[in-house]
Amino acid sequence: MIRGSSWECGWCGDFGSLQRTPAKKSQNTAQITLTLSFVYHVDLPETWSDLKKALRQIAPNDTSLSQLLGKVLLHHISAGIQHAGALPDEKKAEELRTFLHNTLDLNLGENAEEVMRDAKRGVLFCEEAALSETDCGTFWTELLATRPVEDYYNHVDPDGLFELFSELSSAYAYFGGKKDEEMGEAQDYQNALEEAYNTHWQNKVLLHPDVERAKRLLAQGKFPDYEDICREILLVEYPEEVPHETAEDFDELSWERVLDDVFTRDSEKGMEMWRRLLDIAEPSLKTDAKTAEKLLPDWDWLDSPTDDQALPLLVALDDERFVSQLFESAYLDRLQFHVLEICRDCGEETLARHCMDLALKNPCLEEQWRKRYTQVLAAAPSSKRTKPPARALARPPVSTPAKPAGESYYQFCNVQFKEDGAAYAYLTGGISLKAGDFVVVPIGDHQAEKLARVTEVFVCSTQNAPYPPEKAKFVLRKSERTAFPERTKPQHPAPKQAAVPAPTESRRAVPPVQSAPTANPQKSAPTVQSAITPPIVSQTPTEPEITEKKSTLSKKPFPLGKIIAAVLAVAVIAWVSISVSDRNKQRAAAYDAALQELSNGNYTSAEQGFSALSGYRDAASLSVYCKYADMYKDRTDYAGGQDELSNITLQYDTSWQQDVDALETRVKGYKAEKDAAEEAERQRIAAENAAKREQSLKDQYSGKLPVEGMPVSCLKYTSLGEPDKRLNCKNFEKLEQNQKYFNVYWYDGNGEMIAAGMCAQWRDDSEFMLKTFSQYYPSGSNKGQTFHYGNGDNNSGSIRDDYDNPEDLWEDNPDWYEDEDEAWDEWENG
């Protein structure tokens, strides 16, 4: 590298001064042409000293690495010898022999002559020192183990690493490079070592992560930039589910994508993996909204889950710890909303209420989601799910704290399994039913499905329920039947003859009842039914209760006390039904009045009416519609509401759905116009700022020589103009951004190089910057004069034209001259 009147070799470190040609020459002055010839030489003792110094910088006080360093040096020297195909010339061989004999801390385990002999046969100490894309010796493995993981993600190389590679590469090229090509081979070898080292460093960090560190960070709610600690935990604990053949497998493979794929294949395994992360992060879930938001994403499958996907979720919700992680976290959003919907659609109303109670008490719950959560149980089950998962029906109910009387209301229905049969109570689960409808319900411990007819539908509180709501079963679905199937009676009954089973819509039939054997066929006539209508029983029937025939009336007299109790029970139930019915009539009348106000266009009044009926039919949704219909009645600019309107799906008064959709479309258009205007304004401001910055840079560098630290994009403004040539480093496209560099060159009209520079983008740089710059003097009659050539139009060829006074010349270029007087002489002669 040449700077002013000094030169320095970037490889060997030699330097010296160049004698500047005097500005004024007498006629007797002799002109001498100086030709420089560089000889590549490596001083082995100095190289060994530099290697030990570099290692101390990388891994201070690591004696095990120090013991291996000598073998590493001899490995690369012998690799150079094998690359050349023979031992070096006698001079270099003697240098190596002397170095091995005099250096006592190499720890090679062999004497000098043995090492020289073995170097003829092959590369030495591969097990300890090999470093390539496929091999990583003991020294390099231990060296990688000393580096913190943060260095990889922050693109930081430890001090001394570059020097370590540089010294090893110089030794390799000295013993294995062709004459006059040593510098190029050393650079290529160093690039290969660095690339192999970075590959093993990447594999160590990504394929063999420090899982304890990742767990510690997750528990603290710390998510380092560019690092996926959740994926690291899943990789170590569930390697069979995370692709990890190579580090490239992790390109764009986040932990969320891993779990999405597992949920698709094996929902139960996916739920296990997700819960593992939640358990680790539990200390931060309730206090750190960022942690909760990251670990509680709105999974795609929650929007329309299959039975196989919903069941593992319901089973997990049996664990109060999981329920707390979801609904007592510091971030509640769409995920919890979908979980509530799934509980409702699967008939787990008690579980849904328990989860919703936790959410409503959570201070982190935003008002918009508070309204939507409370509407879940008021709405009918989603049409996306026709019935709950079969196995979920067998799950034990979730225990919840007792509620005060009158706080919660439930809709029950009484059903019969045959004409004039006993009545059994079931929860409707949101299915619209009326007396006379036929339904399918579960019976027995095995949840067998049975056909039944609805005799009554009523609403009651927890205190007045005919059976504890948390233990009651749900109606599965409506049936298309309109009557019980007729039973075929045998004409000639015989002993042990099976009765014909009652047909049902079940995929699992109820076992037929065996009739009792009789000796006299005449005694097989139907028995007399009880004249008293049985009261509603407080438990669901078992299969034998439903299928066996009623026995004959007991001969014992029926106690009068039981008759009175039965009459009183019927009277109480009737009173509750009447009071609830009156309340429902009042709500229906208020709802119809609100609908009338909506039809008349009185949106404010309608909104107030619907708001007072939250939870009744479509009141909550229509209240939102009225709010924004009134807002946008005379407005054409966006003022909010797109998301709320897009979530409205009417379940009952569907004739208004087209009006809701039309308003949503209009509001969506206003939103798009607003977003487009804001984006256009942002682009205008960005373009204006970019133009100002460009003009500022042009003013800063225009007409001047390039300076180190300036952006490469501004070279066109300098007095040299755009570089005439650019030369990228080896493997430019494959290297990390902070490892790439390229050289630029300027030439004069005769093809001689007049300037050169090296450009790179280090970690803190926003773009490629000029890191080094050198100006050369062309041969010819103008020795001693600085020339400015290039593609620019501002080149004058005269220092006086470029600098108004000698002080500016000296101030801008202090390294060109011995002192200011020399700069004055240069300017006066220019």
For residue 4, give both structure tokens: 């002013």
User: How many angstroms separate the CA atoms of 308 and 305, rounded?
Assistant: 8
CB atoms inside a 10 Å sphere around CB 548: 12
User: How many angstroms separate the CA atoms of 724 and 797, rounded?
Assistant: 18
Q: What is the pLDDT of residue 712?
A: 94
| Alpha-carbon dihedral 243, 248, 252, 256, rounded to 10 degrees | 20
Determine the residue type at 693. Answer: R
For residue 478, give both structure tokens: 């409506």
> Which has the minimum average pLDDT: 3-7, 69-73, 528-532, 775-779?
528-532
Q: What is the pLDDT of residue 363?
A: 92
Q: What is the pLDDT of residue 71?
A: 93
Q: Are strands 741-747 and 753-760 parallel, antiparallel or unpaired?
A: antiparallel
User: Given pLDDT bands bounded at 50, 70 and 90, which one contains residue 726?
Assistant: very high
Strand 741-747: give its sheet, edge to edge: 725-728, 741-747, 753-760, 769-775
User: How many angstroms separate the CA atoms of 769 and 731, rounded?
Assistant: 19
Whether 585 has a pLDDT exceeding 60, the answer reads yes
Q: What is the pLDDT of residue 458?
A: 87
Helix axes 138-145, 63-84, angle to 10 degrees: 140
For residue 284, give both structure tokens: 């931060």
Radius of gyration of the chain (CA): 44
pLDDT: is 534 or 415 the higher one?
415
Q: What is the pLDDT of residue 60?
A: 87
User: How many angstroms separate the CA atoms of 273 and 636, rounded?
Assistant: 49
Q: What is the pLDDT of residue 799?
A: 67
For residue 637, give both structure tokens: 């600019």
> Which has the minimum average pLDDT: 434-443, 586-595, 716-725?
586-595
DSSP state letters, 626-647: HHHHHHTSS--S--S-HHHHHT
Helix axes 349-361, 320-327, angle to 10 degrees: 50
> Which has the minimum average pLDDT: 42-46, 614-618, 671-675?
614-618
Q: What is the pLDDT of residues 23-32, one digit of tens each?
A: 444 455 455 5
Q: What is the pLDDT of residue 827?
A: 73
Backbone torsions φ then ψ of 448, nearest 5 degrees:
-65, 145
Q: What is the pLDDT of residues 275-306, one digit of tens each?
A: 999 999 998 998 999 999 999 998 988 888 88
Mean pLDDT of the 122-134 span: 92
Which residues, including other chains, have CB under 8 Å from residue 339's CB and lie 6 or more apart? 302, 313, 317, 326, 355
User: How many angstroms separate the CA atoms of 314 and 141, rounded?
Assistant: 47
User: How many angstroms separate the CA atoms of 449 and 439, rounded?
Assistant: 10
Q: What is the pLDDT of residue 158?
A: 86
| Sign of the C-alpha dihedral computed for residues 376, 377, 383 and 384 taken in this order | positive
Mean pLDDT of the 584-590 span: 80
Q: What is the pLDDT of residue 618?
A: 85
Helix axes 603-611, 560-599, angle to 10 degrees: 160
Task: Answer for the pair 653, 613: CB distance below 8 angstroms, yes or no.
Answer: no
Q: What is the pLDDT of residues 477-510, one digit of tens each?
A: 999 888 877 655 444 444 444 333 444 333 333 3
For residue 826, give both structure tokens: 């240069």
Whether 88 has a pLDDT exceeding 70, the answer reads no
CB atoms inside a 10 Å sphere around CB 502: 18
pLDDT: is 120 or 323 the higher one?
323
Task: Answer for the pair 234, 255: CB distance below 8 angstroms, yes or no.
Answer: yes
CB atoms inside a 10 Å sphere around CB 90: 8
Q: Are strands 409-416 and 15-17 parallel, antiparallel or unpaired?
A: unpaired
Q: How far is CA 108 from the centre of its chain?
A: 49
Mean pLDDT of the 401-427 span: 75
User: How many angstroms separate the CA atoms of 554 and 533, rounded?
Assistant: 16
Question: Rounded to 5, what percent of the chain is helix, strand, coil?
Answer: 50, 10, 45
Whether 226 has a pLDDT exceeding 90, the answer reads no
pLDDT: is 233 or 377 the higher one?
233
List C-alpha distances in Å: 326 to 331, 377, 513, 687. Answer: 9, 18, 48, 45
User: Given pLDDT bands bounded at 50, 70 and 90, which one contains residue 719?
Assistant: very high
Q: What is the pLDDT of residues 333-370, one digit of tens each?
A: 999 999 999 998 888 888 999 999 999 999 999 988 98
Residue 568 parent element (H or E): helix 560-599
> Which has the minimum average pLDDT: 82-86, 212-216, 491-495?
491-495
Q: What is the pLDDT of residues 245-285, one digit of tens each?
A: 677 767 668 899 899 999 988 999 999 999 999 999 998 99
- Which residue in 237, 227, 318 sits closest to 277, CA to CA? 237
Which residues, including other chains, have CB under 8 Å from residue 283's CB and lie 6 or more apart? 219, 220, 221
β-partners of residue 452 are 439
Mean pLDDT of the 100-110 span: 88
| Sign of the C-alpha dihedral computed for residues 788, 791, 794 and 796 taken in this order | positive
| Sign of the C-alpha dihedral computed for residues 392, 397, 401 and 404 taken in this order | positive
User: How many angstroms separate the CA atoms of 225 and 239, rounded?
Assistant: 23
Mean pLDDT of the 680-697 span: 88
Helix axes 320-327, 267-285, angle to 10 degrees: 60
Provide the strand spans (E) within 307-423.
409-416
The distance in angstroms from the start CA to the end CA of the chain is: 25
- Which residue in 257, 212, 260 sits closest to 232, CA to CA? 212
Task: Answer for the pair 409, 466: CB distance below 8 angstroms, yes or no.
Answer: no
Whether 526 has a pLDDT exceeding 80, the answer reads no
Whether 532 has a pLDDT exceeding 70, the answer reads no
Mean pLDDT of the 416-445 span: 87
Which residues, including other chains, have CB under 8 Å from residue 784's CB and lie 6 or more apart? 20, 21, 22, 23, 777, 826
Which residues, including other chains, have CB under 8 Å from residue 79's CB and lie 6 or more apart? 123, 172, 176
User: How many angstroms separate the CA atoms of 538 and 214, rounded?
Assistant: 54
List C-alpha distances in Å: 694 to 106, 322, 400, 687. Answer: 56, 56, 67, 10
CB atoms inside a 10 Å sphere around CB 437: 20
| Sign of the C-alpha dihedral computed for residues 226, 230, 233 and 239 taken in this order | negative
User: Given pLDDT bands bounded at 50, 70 and 90, which one contains residue 321?
Assistant: very high
Whether 551 has a pLDDT exceeding 70, the answer reads no
Whether 722 has a pLDDT exceeding 90, the answer reads yes
User: How many angstroms separate the CA atoms of 776 and 782, rounded?
Assistant: 13
Mean pLDDT of the chain: 78
User: How many angstroms separate the CA atoms of 51 and 182, rounded?
Assistant: 20
User: How many angstroms separate the CA atoms of 781 and 21, rounded?
Assistant: 11
User: How many angstroms separate the CA atoms of 346 and 392, rounded?
Assistant: 8
> Which has the minimum average pLDDT: 354-363, 408-417, 532-541, 771-780?
532-541
Residue with tokens 């749900």: 474
Q: How far is CA 493 from the centre of its chain?
A: 71
Which residues, including other chains, have CB under 8 Å from residue 187's CB and lie 6 or more apart? 169, 730
Look at residue 7 and give its three-state secondary structure: strand
Q: What is the pLDDT of residues 612-632, one digit of tens each?
A: 886 678 888 899 999 999 999
Whether 755 has a pLDDT exceeding 80, the answer reads yes
User: How many angstroms separate the CA atoms of 518 and 495, rounded?
Assistant: 6
List C-alpha distances in Å: 689 to 396, 683, 684, 716. Answer: 65, 10, 9, 20
Q: What is the pLDDT of residue 533?
A: 32
- Which residue in 255, 286, 120, 136 sits closest to 198, CA to CA? 136
- Which residue in 205, 268, 273 sits closest to 237, CA to CA? 273
Q: What is the pLDDT of residue 395?
A: 42
User: Given pLDDT bands bounded at 50, 70 and 90, which one contains residue 747?
Assistant: very high
Whether 801 has a pLDDT exceeding 80, the answer reads no
User: How many angstroms separate the CA atoms of 214 and 216, rounded?
Assistant: 5
Provide the strand spans (E) within 730-801.
741-747, 753-760, 769-775
- Which residue in 325, 260, 40, 345 sits closest to 169, CA to CA? 40
Task: Answer for the pair 278, 295: CB distance below 8 angstroms, yes or no.
Answer: yes
Of the chain, the percentage scoring pLDDT greater than 70 comes to 75
For residue 608, give both structure tokens: 């107030």
User: How many angstroms separate the CA atoms of 640 and 655, rounded?
Assistant: 24
User: Given pLDDT bands bounded at 50, 70 and 90, which one contains residue 382?
Assistant: low
User: Given pLDDT bands bounded at 50, 70 and 90, which one contains residue 735?
Assistant: confident
